[in-house]
Amino acid sequence: MAEASEHPQLQRRLGARDAALIVMGGIIGSGIFFNTSRVARFVHTGPLVILAWVLGGAIAMIGAGVFAELAARRPDDGGVYAYLREAFHPLVAFCYGWTLLLVSQSGGAAASAVTFAFYLPAITGTHLSGPLTTAIAVGVIALFTLVNCLGVRQGANAQNGFMLAKLVAILGVIAVGLFAVHGALVHPAVNAPVAPFNPLLAMGLALVPVMFAYSGWQTSSFMSAELRDPHKTLARGMIYGVLGVVVLYLAVNAVCLAALGQDGLAHTDTPASDVVRAVLGPVGGTIMATIVALSTLGFITNQILTAPRVYYQMAADGTFFKALAKIDPRTHVPVIAIAVQGVAAMLIALSGKYDLILNWVTSVDYIFFGFAALALIIFRRRDAAARAPRPFFTIPLHPWSTLLFLVVAWGIVVDVLLKSTTDTLIGVVVLLTGIPVYYAFRRKRAREI
């Protein structure tokens, strides 16, 4: 017992339901309430709108299958970080964790916190100044950082609670939409330009915001060390969680199309709000503001729950600050790593650079999605040569399904590079700054040894 208290470890307190809810929480933010109109501007018919979300959902399911098999073959602490470390080199894994801290996880949490503060006046009927909005955003991040420091069960309960609240809210939007009068129900809120129509080009453009809306399932893999039977629970969570999101997204799009019509959907920036407001009147605006606020809070809890486990593993591998590998003997969570994640998100919220940072996220995330697909191909070959037993889950139609996901992931990177060259290159530069940092920690560790 003395040894256990002297060297506390992460504890496996989460199950398959937690994994599925974490998967859904990492995907569903506030975007689904707005992205439907962006897709409708590219494709000019209702069936093509649904087709775009079906194709995106199919690709997301393939991606979930790739990560589910990775989890089944390598249920290692750190998830994606561990896959990249074992398949390629610790440097690749470090650069991934480095960008989580500086860009994607911290920037995502900061942007969500500011979005929550922005919608708060619509819920409370009060007026907030700019500095007060920032202070609320920082306070929300600090609150969820504290909750996660109390234990993985407490952090997961908060994440799951907000995810279930989001689920009920989205189902409520769908139910309200069923009572709406069909066809161009609402006058267009925004006279947005509609792109010239070329079917193949239009579908390719529409799939970009669709894939952005579907991404985020990978964060659940960071929790491997705290999941019971991660080779089974994480694989199940990936598949069930992404499948649940696909069903929800298709239902939301079908309701918005039925209520607003194709033209109305293409000419508004707030489709879900328009549907609810049309049925419930002015109170619908307050209801949607509450739903968006719940979605942002749920996303913040997911980011703060999951990402610190990667920094913990980086430190445990000796390639990051030692303090981040310390486990609190009472709560059995990496308190310092969680605090570092919270502070990074708060600093971004204070800087006001979160929107810019989010522009870097897409290219960086999908670069590593492609590497994850390559990792699965590598692990398959290694395991076949070693005559390893068949894992709990294998993705159907491998290698073609895996290669398809790889092509789509890196195709999105190229698309974003062409559209937002400067932001994409900045994201790549941030990623590359991890190289000298990694070798600095390697030299420091070598001197200590």
What pLDDT, on a 0 to 100 scale, did the predictor assign at position 122?
A: 77
Assigned token pair, 447: 């001197």
Give pLDDT tens digits along the chain (449 positions): 344 445 788 888 888 899 999 999 989 877 777 788 888 888 878 899 999 999 999 999 999 999 999 999 998 778 999 999 999 999 999 999 999 999 888 988 898 898 888 888 878 777 777 788 889 999 999 999 999 999 999 999 999 999 998 898 889 888 888 776 555 444 444 444 444 556 777 787 788 888 888 888 888 999 998 999 998 999 999 999 999 999 999 999 998 888 888 888 888 877 888 888 888 888 887 888 888 888 889 889 999 999 999 999 999 999 999 999 999 999 999 999 999 999 999 999 898 776 667 667 777 888 999 999 999 999 999 999 999 999 999 999 999 999 999 999 998 888 888 877 888 888 889 999 999 999 999 998 888 87
What pLDDT, on a 0 to 100 scale, did the predictor assign at position 181?
A: 57
Residue among 375, 376, 371, 370 nearest 410 (CA): 370
Assigned token pair, 67: 């990560």
What pLDDT, on a 0 to 100 scale, did the predictor assign at position 192?
A: 46
CA distances to 80, 274, 307 from 313, rounded to whole Å, are 11, 45, 10
Residue among 322, 353, 372, 433 nearest 99 (CA): 433
55, exposed or middle or buried, with CB in 10 Å at 0-12, 13-18, 19+? middle
Q: Are 363 and 413 in contact (CB under 8 A)?
A: yes
Is-above-0.85 flag for pTM?
yes
CB count within 10 Å of CB 1 equals 5
What pLDDT, on a 0 to 100 scale, did the predictor assign at position 169?
A: 85
Q: Where are the domains of the chain?
A: 11-448
Domain 11-448 fold:
Amino acid/polyamine transporter I (1.20.1740)
What pLDDT, on a 0 to 100 scale, did the predictor assign at position 419?
A: 78
